[in-house]
């Protein structure tokens, strides 16, 4: 059974005493936060470098500009760096800028790239890509973000507390966890 967008919308509206009809942007933000905290909605993806080209194209279904655990061939993972650090040419790593993943050092030959990506919610579907165990945290975080949208700051803290408690019940704990895409030497 999947989490339904209609269920989240109905519960968040009831909690916040609102009559929202479209919460896709808030829902995406909430899903991404839960995804980062728990490793949900993360997939191992691949790409190929071209010799003497400093970038690979980013996936078109990437959500929130989130990529983690990038490897080139079987080497150690590259660290994420900022666009500014990349431009200064002083740090090895990768950065996502616009629709490309820039790599430093620049590959001198064609190589395989493996990385963990977070995929978008399809705006046309009513089914959420999180496991059903995350329904309550998703509802609570969505309600908190809905309060934030209407600048009802006194209500946000209570919903965030309920969100954190719901995550603990799901086994996610209080601290963000590292992404869980595992690289296993090129096998998908």
Helix residue spans in 46-134 (DSSP H) = 83-88
Per domain, the residue ranges of the chain are: 3-40+122-169, 42-119
Q: What is the pLDDT of residues 107-118, one digit of tens each?
A: 888 888 877 766
Adjacent-strand bridge partners of 168: none
Predicted pLDDT of residue 124: 43
Closest CA to 35 of 176, 185, 183, 188: 176
For 81-90, what is the mean pLDDT? 87
Using the predicted structure, report yes or no on whether residue 188 has a pLDDT greater than 60. Answer: no
Q: What is the pLDDT of residues 25-80, one digit of tens each?
A: 898 888 878 877 776 666 677 888 888 888 988 877 665 556 767 888 767 788 88
User: For all residues of the chain together, what is the average pLDDT?
Assistant: 80
């Amino acid at each position: 059974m999947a989490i339904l967008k209609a269920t989240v919308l109905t519960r968040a509206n009831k909690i916040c005493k609102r009559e929202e009809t479209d919460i896709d942007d808030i829902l995406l933000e909430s899903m991404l936060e839960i995804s980062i905290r728990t490793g949900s909605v993360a997939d191992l993806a691949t790409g190929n470098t071209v010799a003497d080209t400093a970038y690979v194209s980013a996936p078109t279904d990437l959500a929130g500009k989130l990529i983690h655990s990038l490897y080139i061939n079987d080497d150690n993972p590259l660290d994420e760096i900022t666009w500014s650090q990349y431009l200064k040419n002083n740090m090895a790593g990768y950065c996502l800028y616009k629709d490309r993943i820039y790599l430093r050092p620049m590959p001198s030959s064609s190589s395989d790239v493996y990385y963990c990506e977070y995929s978008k919610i399809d705006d046309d579907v009513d089914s959420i890509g999180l496991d059903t165990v995350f329904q309550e945290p998703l509802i609570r975080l969505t309600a908190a973000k809905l309060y934030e949208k209407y600048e009802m700051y006194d209500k946000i803290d209570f919903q965030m507390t309920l969100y954190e408690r719901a995550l603990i019940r799901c086994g996610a704990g209080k601290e963000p966890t590292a992404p869980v895409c595992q690289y296993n030497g090129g096998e998908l």
